[in-house]
Amino acid sequence: MTYSIVAHCQRTGQFGIGVASFSMAIGRYCDGAVRANTGATLTQGAPNPRNNYLAINLLAQGHTASQALAMLIANDPQSDYRQVAIVDRDDSAAVHSGAKLRGWAGHRMGKGYVAFGDSLAGQPVIDNDYHGNTCTQIIRNACRAAGFSPHYVARSEDHHTALAFVAAGVGVTILPDLAVPESMAGVDSRELVNPAPRRRIVVHVRDGAADAPPVVRALELLDEAVAKTAARRSVLR
């Protein structure tokens, strides 16, 4: 399994790649994959780091992402075993998923990015739609009732990361009150109403450990956090 993203930030102009893989030391296949003011690329499946240098050099010579990709494939007899993604300085993206990749393989691309992978569970992984938890269902149902479908540009199970995305101008996020700081530069908070979402927090402990001092203290801290949030909300109202 290898799942990657190649992208260009339209706000900062920076290029970057991210890779998650079963392969040990996957970073060695990323050598030469990014060049400032030029582009970013990655070849996976049957990796070929040489492709990275070739693609970046072609972009530097003025070729578009699509033109560079066509040249790589035309000169690679093993291209059916590879995935190649390229993003150029103009936010054009191009991607190739070979017919002989392992398991399910596919990609999704847009302005300035390509998400792609092989040996994956299916298209929902690429579409970033494997978050079927309660919060996601609430958001999806609310958006559907309002007549539109949400477009997720980034996702995180960590609220600090989600807030950082908002502060960076990536989009908006929906978080429980307990996760929202009283103030954070670049972030403005609004309470959801009519109807207000409700969630239940349940604490599970090991049998016989409910009276253990660390567990008791943890529950006390949770109660204190809830009380503090409730007091803050009453002041805001």
Write the pLDDT tens digit of every residue in 77-108. Answer: 999 999 999 999 999 999 999 999 988 999 98
- Whole-number Å distance between alpha carbons of 25 and 38: 26
CA 76 to chain centre: 30
**164: which 2 tokens?**
């950082």
- Whole-number Å distance between alpha carbons of 50 and 47: 9
Write the pLDDT tens digit of every residue in 169-206. Answer: 877 888 877 777 777 888 888 877 777 777 677 888 88
Percent residues over pLDDT 70 in the chain: 90
Q: What is the pLDDT of residue 233?
A: 63
- Whole-number Å distance between alpha carbons of 105 and 99: 9
Q: For the residues 161-167, what does the mean pLDDT come to? A: 85
Q: How confident is the model at residue 133 (pLDDT cuts 50, 70, 90)?
A: low
Does a cis peptide bond (omega within 30 degrees of 0) precede residue 49? no
Query: Domain segments of the chain: what residues?
Result: 2-126, 132-196, 201-237
CATH 3.60.20.10 holds for 2-126: yes
108 vs 72, 90, 91, 215, CA distance in Å? Answer: 20, 18, 14, 45
Dihedral sign, CA of 128, 129, 131, 137?
positive
Q: Is the pTM of this model over 0.85?
A: no
Widest distance between CA atoms in the chain: 69
Query: Mapping DSSP to helix (H, G, I), strand (E, B) and coil, where does residue 228 land?
Result: helix
Q: For the residues 50-70, what does the mean pLDDT come to? A: 96
DSSP secondary structure letters along 38-70: TEEEEEEES--HHHHHHHHHHHHTT--HHHHHH
- Whole-number Å distance between alpha carbons of 3 and 22: 10
Q: What is the pLDDT of residue 130?
A: 47
